[in-house]
């Protein structure tokens, strides 16, 4: 077995999961200026819905994922429409604490709605792998990497090349001005929350086969996605994606070559030290506060 290429390919697989979750966080941050702490738990809820539908009704996985998309969009709409939009006077801190409260709500709701038994979710492609020299990667792993890269690239194109993307970027840069220019910023924000929900759900479905579906199975993804945003900086959409892959690679190599137990913790320490030297992330510009 190749001891460099093999863990590297594995890291790309988990990196894609982190990247999707991080994209959800960053798109909410850019449009609402709110750190979306509930990204992981909303993904967990929609992902658990996928597992529930798949296990109960016996429909194919891709149909169950479509149900998951519907659940995720509905959750995103609900959170923005029923809560975030009504918080006219709330500051960013207030909204962030609300997303912290939502973590607890979804965590408490999931076992009530879907039952307390842990569930399993199979891979998209059950078997088969490709040999790359001494290393190998499963078709499913390759698909996960592809999903991550394609969605990140697609989102990037959408943001840079389409009118909708322009609206999102305008809202991100200055919401009141964008509204005055005739951009329906409320719809943009609504869309951002729904998109974040779908990205979280996809991340959940992709990570689920490696573990069991319980209310806490997205915790590592959520934490890693947050760190990916810190590492990549909050100013760009591609920064967190690069950060996500980097985190996955570093964490896997630390686990393999330094300590299988303390790998993640060492990486967290590295991120803290990194913050000391590059506080705005890899691609961040110096953050200036306007008075």
Which residues contribute to the site for another protein (CB under 8 A)?
33, 35, 37, 83, 86-94, 96-98, 100-112, 116, 174-176, 215, 219, 223, 226-227, 230, 261-262, 264-265, 268-269, 271-273, 275-276, 279-280, 287, 289-291
Which CB, 19 or 135, lies closer to another protein?
A: 19
Which of 75/145 has CB closer to another protein?
75
Q: Shortest Cβ distance from residue 105 to another protein (Å)?
A: 4
Q: 203: closest CA among 51, 8, 12, 22?
A: 22
Q: Closest CB to another protein among 35 and 67? A: 35
Question: Would you mind telling me the total number of residues written for the chain in this entry?
Answer: 291
What angle is formed at CA 277 by the lines to CA 273 and CA 283, rounded to 5 degrees? 110
Of 98 and 119, the one with the shorter C-beta distance to another protein is 98
What is the rounded distance in angstroms from the CA atom of residue 262 to the CA atom of residue 265? 5
Choice between 6 and 171, CB closer to another protein: 171
Distance CA 215, CA 59 (A): 23
Residue with tokens 């590592």: 220
Q: How far is the CB of 60 from another protein (least distance, A)?
A: 30
Q: Name the minimum Å distance from CB 170 to another protein.
A: 12
The encoded tokens of residue 17 equal 């999961």
Can you spell out the DSSP letters for 34-75?
Answer: ---TTHHHHHHHHHHHHHHHHHHH---HHHHHHHHHHHHHHH
What's the distance, Cα to Cα, between the start and end of the chain in Å? 57
Q: Tell me how crowded residue 261 is: count the other CB atoms within 10 A of its CB.
A: 9
Which single residue is written with the structure tokens 């729904």?
194
Question: Least Å distance between CB 34 and another protein?
Answer: 10
Cβ 82 to another protein shortest distance, Å: 9
- Which residue, 143 or 271, has its beta carbon nearer to another protein? 271
Contact 47, 208 (CB under 8 A): yes
Q: Whole-number minimum distance, CB 107 to another protein, in Å?
A: 5
Q: Which is nearer to another protein, 99 or 140 (CB)?
A: 99
Instruction: Output the CA torsion 91→94→95→101 (10° steps).
Output: 180
Nearer to another protein, 65 or 234 (CB): 234
**Cα-Cα-Cα-Cα dihedral of 115, 120, 125, 129, to 10°?**
160
């Amino acid at each position: 077995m190749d001891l460099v290429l093999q863990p590297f390919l594995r890291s790309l697989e988990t990196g894609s999961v982190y990247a999707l979750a991080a994209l959800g966080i960053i798109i909410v941050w850019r449009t609402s200026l709110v750190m979306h702490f509930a990204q992981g738990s909303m993904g967990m809820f929609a992902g658990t819905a996928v597992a529930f539908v798949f296990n109960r009704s016996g429909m194919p996985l891709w149909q169950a994922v479509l149900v998951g998309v519907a659940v995720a969009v509905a959750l995103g709409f609900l959170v923005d429409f029923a809560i975030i939009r009504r918080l006219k006077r709330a500051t960013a801190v207030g909204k962030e604490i609300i997303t912290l409260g939502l973590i607890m709500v979804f965590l408490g709701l999931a076992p009530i709605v879907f039952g307390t038994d842990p569930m399993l979710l199979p891979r998209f492609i059950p078997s088969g792998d490709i040999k790359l020299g001494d290393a190998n990667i499963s078709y499913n792993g390759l698909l996960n990497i592809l999903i991550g890269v394609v969605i990140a690239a697609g989102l990037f194109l959408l943001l840079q090349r389409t009118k909708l993307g322009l609206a999102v970027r305008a809202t991100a840069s200055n919401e009141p001005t964008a509204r005055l220019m005739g951009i329906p910023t409320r719809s943009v924000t609504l869309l951002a929350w729904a998109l974040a929900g779908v990205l979280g759900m996809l991340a959940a479905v992709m990570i689920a086969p490696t573990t069991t579906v319980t209310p806490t199975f997205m915790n590592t993804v959520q934490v890693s996605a947050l760190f990916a945003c810190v590492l990549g900086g909050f100013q760009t959409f591609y920064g967190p994606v690069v950060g996500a892959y980097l985190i996955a690679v570093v964490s896997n190599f630390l686990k393999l070559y330094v300590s299988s137990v303390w790998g993640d913790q060492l990486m967290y320490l590295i991120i803290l030290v990194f913050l000391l030297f590059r506080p705005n992330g890899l691609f961040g510009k110096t953050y200036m506060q306007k008075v």
